[in-house]
Amino acid sequence: MAKKVAVAQRVEGDVRLTSEENNFNNEPMKGGNQIFDGDKIITSNNGYCAILHIESKQIQKIRSNQVIVIKSDETHAEEMEESNDDSVEFWHNNSGFKVVQPTWVASVKG
């Protein structure tokens, strides 16, 4: 059983969730959806969502045209040793996410 790491707080436009734990496969995301370790969130050009990370109580805003895979600390530590892909990972406290797109497209604001 995967660890629950976040909850969707606000969802606007076309936002999709793929989650083995919830048996979702690119299903429309709604406010209140539970997000587990390894779940993938995809926003289209009009999509936006905000998720609340359970442990850190931080709200993460996911803007349009993003593909994000949510990872827990345990999963992140295991994958860091094996990772050779061209992506960007962001971490805060006990939660993190990986932007699965070329690094020349990703940006960090804040």
Residue 23 pLDDT > 70? yes
pLDDT at 104: 42
Show the tokens assigned to 27.
């299903």
Which residues make Cβ contacts (< 8 Å) with residue 1, sequence separation at least 6?
Answer: 21
Q: For the chain, which residues make up each domain, given as ranges? A: 4-99
Rounded distance, CA 85 to CA 35, Å?
24
Residue 108's pLDDT band, with cuts at 50, 70 and 90, is low
Coil, helix or strand at residue 76: helix
The pLDDT of residue 2 is 77
Whole-number mean pLDDT of the chain? 76
Higher pLDDT, 5 or 22: 5
Q: Which residue has the tokens 């050009």?
A: 45
Kindly report the pTM of this predicted structure. Answer: 0.66
Output the CA–CA distances (angstroms, integers) from residue 1 to 4, 6, 11, 79, 86, in the order listed.
9, 15, 25, 18, 29
Q: Is the pLDDT of residue 68 over 80?
A: yes
Write phi, then psi, for 63 (nearest 5 degrees).
-85, -175
